[in-house]
Structure 1
């Protein structure tokens, strides 16, 4: 599975700059695709949690479709076409990697949650919580969104486009690390605007970086986009499922929710 040296036709700097450019282009595309949602519901800008579930869902779906649009434009502009997309039914080996990725990412999530609690490390809340608010129904909707929009769109752009593009200049392991670093840095604004400190932002970004390495490794080992996509979706679905249970416990029992547990979940979303 290693990329042969003769196929590495790019210099590391150029490949990295192209990868960063593709990422920036993806973010810019989301500004275009979400414009209809903002025009229909201006409240999404300042108080998204107060808008309808339908509008919030449409906004998130359009946001992730921006990544797909950016990737599609890149494929068309470079004459790579859709044949470049590694999308096929996994083999038994592929499904085993998928299962390993799900178990590994959840184990990583649990371990990091425990470490955060033990050392009382500050964390930053993801802006997605401004959209979800304390709405249990929206949390369940998020599980659907991560399967059909979030994970497929992010894996398509950051794995099949960005990471695969890096193969022309780096080994596969190096490509996973560089792509994961770029993926983590993309989340900087998402966490920084809600963080109390740069340390809190850094802690949350390190968690994103670690998770991205897991999914990038799955793609590097299988050359199949389905494998990291399913693992990524399942991982996020477990997070939102735990958040739903935490919110339900708080509401139904009329007792304080286990705040550290909730904080850990929210900080890792």
Structure 2
């Protein structure tokens, strides 16, 4: 946590604007950091699912590296330094929150799945699925990427930087809600591009917001970045695990409830 001398006295509006700006720049940074991968393999542009596994893994990894660069640059420019990063060895209490986070995120995931099925809601695709295609091996690679790159970098920027920045002007519960709303809203255009309707866009955005609320709560309660990272990684690993099983056993043609879970798993955010 930041020491009292480092606390800022920004008003609510400025804090929200700074947090939103960091979130937007973080997401936009992926367009820059992934350029080397596209230059090395142009097939990533025209037929990403047909590119080599190495190329597909590289473009995804470089995208997550962008989060670290933006967060690191912010720490340097504001003189907060890397001591601002709340990462430490988890205690027994922390592990309890990790477990609660995994259970909570999966319960939320199931709830959304049931609602999608019951209301026959459409869902937008995730851009990550364009790199997976029907390649089961790439799904397994994604599980590794989730643990090593995705969860650590995303939680670092959007929880330890964006959410923590909001602590200067808001209570922790308020900061969690605001940071989660920002995180959901910046994903709206990402899903809108791949969606056929506003409703189809709203479903994955709701999943993004809900997941951010859960992981943000874990961070706010523990002040240990390891906790949301572990819960986030496990949550996404389960999603990709479902996708792998669906491909292995052709569950997309199974009963409606199973097919819907598969669809949401493939569309759910990282």
Identify the TM-score tier after normalising by the shorter chain. over 0.9
| Distance in 1 of aligned mates of 2:144 and 2:166 | 31
Q: How far has the Cα of 1:8 moved from its partner?
A: 6.8
* Map of 2:85 onto structure 1: 85
Deviations 1:64-91 (A, max 9, x none): 0000000000001111110000010111
- Conservation of the 8 A alpha-carbon contact between 2:16 and 2:166: yes
Q: Provide the aligned length of Structure 1 versus Structure 2.
A: 262
Q: How far has the Cα of 1:21 moved from its partner?
A: 1.1
| Distance in 2 of aligned mates of 1:58 and 1:8 | 38
Aligned residue for 1:189, secondary structure, equals helix
* Map of 1:31 onto structure 2: 31
* Map of 1:145 onto structure 2: 145
Once the two structures are overlaid, the 10-residue window that deviates more, 22-31 or 34-43, is: 22-31
- Conservation of the 8 A alpha-carbon contact between 2:113 and 2:260: no
* Map of 1:42 onto structure 2: 42
| Distance in 2 of aligned mates of 1:115 and 1:86 | 36
| Distance in 1 of aligned mates of 2:52 and 2:60 | 13
* Map of 1:58 onto structure 2: 58
Q: How far has the Cα of 1:14 moved from its partner?
A: 0.3
Deviations 1:45-64 (A, max 9, x none): 23211101100000000000
Once the two structures are overlaid, the 10-residue window that deviates more, 83-92 or 24-33, is: 24-33
Aligned residue for 1:187, secondary structure, equals helix
Calculate the TM-score normalised by the size of structure 2.
Answer: 0.93
**TM-align CA RMSD:** 1.7
Stretches of structure 1 that go unaligned for 5 or more consecutive residues are none
Calculate the TM-score normalised by the size of structure 1.
Answer: 0.93
- Conservation of the 8 A alpha-carbon contact between 1:160 and 1:225: yes
* Map of 2:127 onto structure 1: 127
1:148-187 correspondence runs (5 A): 148-187=148-187
Q: How far has the Cα of 1:238 moved from its partner?
A: 0.3
* Map of 2:253 onto structure 1: 256
1:186-225 correspondence runs (5 A): 186-225=186-225
Q: How far has the Cα of 1:256 moved from its partner?
A: 2.7
- Conservation of the 8 A alpha-carbon contact between 1:8 and 1:170: no
| Distance in 2 of aligned mates of 1:24 and 1:81 | 21
| Distance in 2 of aligned mates of 1:179 and 1:45 | 32
- Conservation of the 8 A alpha-carbon contact between 1:8 and 1:167: no
